[in-house]
Structure 1
Amino acid sequence: MAFPEEVVTVNKAFSGLGIDEKSLISILGKWDKDELKSFRLGTPRFFGEDDRCFEKLVQHQIKQLNTNFLRFKNAVVLWTMHPWERDARLMNDALLDGPKSYNVIVEIACTRSSEELLGARRAYHSLFERSIEEDVASYVTTDERKLLVALVSAYRYEGPKVNEEVAKVEAKTFLNALKNANKKNPLLDDDVVTILATRSKLHINSLFKYYKEISGSSVYEDLQAALILSDIVECFCIPPAYFSKVMEAAMVKEADENTREGLTRVIVTRADIDMKYIKEEYYRTYKCKLSERIDGATNGNYKDFLLSLIFREEKI
């Protein structure tokens, strides 16, 4: 009969994000058929009694276990890709996933430099023999279509100059669009789309500074109900806060698979970019070190790989 502590260890190895491969190898590899049956009978979360007298692995657990075994591989594959290819594939996957993953398109379009986004568009051409603009227009049928097409098409000015007078005028334009949201969705407002798709990030930051002066409230407060616009503003203005939020949501036990994928995506794509600032922001927001949170929420090689990536800048 399997030792109770071994059953607990195996259960823990299967729980969370990733799989504790070392524990599974050391324990499952030595269990005989009776010990395996004892484990199956003692873990109803994974196994149910079939009416034909055998312990059947619960269907959704099969899918979850397969996904968790693949997490390490997927993280490694993404990490080894050229950043342009990685972003192109992430955007294509997001389009295939549908509206629940449109935040990934926003994330890439709004946090990459103009050259990086152009590179991702070139990679998309090569990989899928279509343009990302073409696919966004084809796959997205919701109100987000116009704005998303414009965002992925952008090539922004990245210099230091900001026309403050224009930023003030556009702050009023943005405020009016949000005030009239019950009459017209801001996502369909041509002025809002033009501002978000063409202005430099410095200009947009300046615009929202004036927005607060005019309205008395920050744009973040006024956009709480408009999730995609909120993500866009965060990605432009405070990306470490956005990335921290994505990772924390991914490590909540109740998170769906789509949300959980955000942990791999953020760490792999930001490890060599701004992980230092993301870790600082995560600690300020959640009062916990990101490394400690990952250590408690993930398992095995997947955990070790993620931790090695978030500490990269300390070794370089």
Structure 2
Amino acid sequence: MAHLEALAKAFTGLGVDEKSLIENLGKSHPEQRTLFRKKTPQFFLEDERSFERWNDHCVRLLKHEFVRFKNALVLWAMHPWERDARLVKEALKKGPQSYGVIVEIACTRSSEELLGARKAYHSLFDQSIEEDVATHIHGSERKLLVALVSAYRYEGPKVKEDAAKSEAKILANAIKNGNKKNPIADEEVIRILSTRSKAHLKVVCKHYKEVSGNNIHEDLDASDLILKETVECLCTPHAYFSKVLDEAMSSNAHKNTKKGLTRVIVTRADVDMKEIKEEYMNLFGVSLSKKIEEKANGNYRDFLVTLITRDN
């Protein structure tokens, strides 16, 4: 039974435990593999001809798990500009459920990093990010997303306090009246979120709470997901990244959600992983390393842990 449990565990979670598979499956006898198939109905189905066959859905999922390590290595070796450009392109291909990745890249990179990604996009795909976003996205979020990927923000420390107070009121009114007009389509909301510096927006969010009584992300519900993710990425990026990581390691996470684990660790390992780990511990009461060791397997797990435990 220990043999069966080890095999089942090797296939379960994020990635696969290659060493365990070699040790337990590679050395197994036919009768042991038969028992494994019969005792793991989550992987195998017995059809009307009385033989155990792979569950097709499980095979598709396992294909994703086997390539996680390869994908992580490939992304890690890429130039950061190319990496971001390719992530944006993939998000556009996958559709609305992946548009949050575009928000993440547009709002958590420095002005120079985002400009670099835009240059890489030209080289890779013979068009601009802006035109591709405008062409592929047709919903209410299009104007905001085009504005975000086109941004080149001031990154200094100066903040106009009066303007921040005024813009906090603009955001509060737009969100309050969201039942009349979707705030994501409000020109003033788009202007504030796509042109103001991150330092300025953090002050705006502080004044928003004074005006509204709530933090801005508390007033934005699931129907405003793109707008909510925009605000989080701009004002509380480490909390945003922590949430993405935790959702990616949820046992019932969608395959696109699971990709967030590789994406965030690979793209932030050289940037602000120390702060993300601190925020993850603060939010979830467990270290990021321990959670990855519990949820991931094999070389994939070891590679991710190596990245987050490096000296930045």
Matched residues in 2 for 1:284 and 1:161: separation? Answer: 29
- Per the alignment, in what secondary structure is the counterpart of residue 212 of structure 1? helix
Out of 113, 121, 126, the position equivalent to 2:123 is: 126
Offset of residue 233 of structure 1: 1.2
Matched residues in 2 for 1:149 and 1:278: separation? Answer: 27
Q: Which moved more, 1:150-159 or 1:52-61?
A: 52-61
Matched residues in 2 for 1:286 and 1:213: separation? Answer: 27
Tell me the residue number matched to 2:289.
291
Moved over 4 A (4+): none
Offset of residue 224 of structure 1: 3.2
1:160 aligns with 2:121: no
1:68 aligns with 2:54: no
- Per the alignment, in what secondary structure is the counterpart of residue 161 of structure 1? coil
1:207 aligns with 2:204: yes
Tell me the residue number matched to 1:198.
195
Query: Taking every aligned residue pair, what percent have the same amino acid on both sides?
Result: 60
Query: What is the CA RMSD across the aligned residues, in angstroms?
Result: 1.1
Q: Which moved more, 1:273-282 or 1:219-228?
A: 219-228
Superposition pairs of residues 69-108 of structure 1, within 5 angstroms = 69-108=66-105
Matched residues in 2 for 1:268 and 1:119: separation? Answer: 17
Out of 129, 139, 144, the position equivalent to 1:142 is: 139
TM-score normalised per structure 1: 0.96
Matched residues in 2 for 1:31 and 1:123: separation? Answer: 48
Matched residues in 2 for 1:191 and 1:52: separation? Answer: 65
Offset of residue 32 of structure 1: 2.4
Matched residues in 1 for 2:304 and 2:82: separation? Answer: 20
Give the aligned residue type for 2:130. Answer: E
| CA shift digits 1:187-208 (9 cap, x unpaired) | 1100100111111111111111
Tell me the residue number matched to 1:7.
4
Give the aligned residue type for 1:50. Answer: D
Tell me the residue number matched to 2:215.
218
- Per the alignment, in what secondary structure is the counterpart of residue 269 of structure 1? helix
| CA shift digits 1:96-137 (9 cap, x unpaired) | 111111110000000000000000011111111111111111
Matched residues in 2 for 1:32 and 1:218: separation? Answer: 60
1:115 aligns with 2:112: yes
Q: Which residues of structure 2 form unaligned runs of 5+?
A: none
Tell me the residue number matched to 2:231.
233
Matched residues in 1 for 2:171 and 2:9: separation? Answer: 49
Give the aligned residue type for 1:37. Answer: T
Matched residues in 1 for 2:246 and 2:201: separation? Answer: 26
Give the aligned residue type for 2:109. Answer: R
Tell me the residue number matched to 2:181.
184
- Per the alignment, in what secondary structure is the counterpart of residue 312 of structure 1? coil
Q: Which residues of structure 1 form unaligned runs of 5+?
A: none
TM-score normalised per structure 2: 0.97
Give the aligned residue type for 1:163. Answer: K
Offset of residue 53 of structure 1: 3.5
Matched residues in 2 for 1:122 and 1:160: separation? Answer: 27
Give the aligned residue type for 1:273. Answer: V
Superposition pairs of residues 37-52 of structure 1, within 5 angstroms = 37-52=34-49
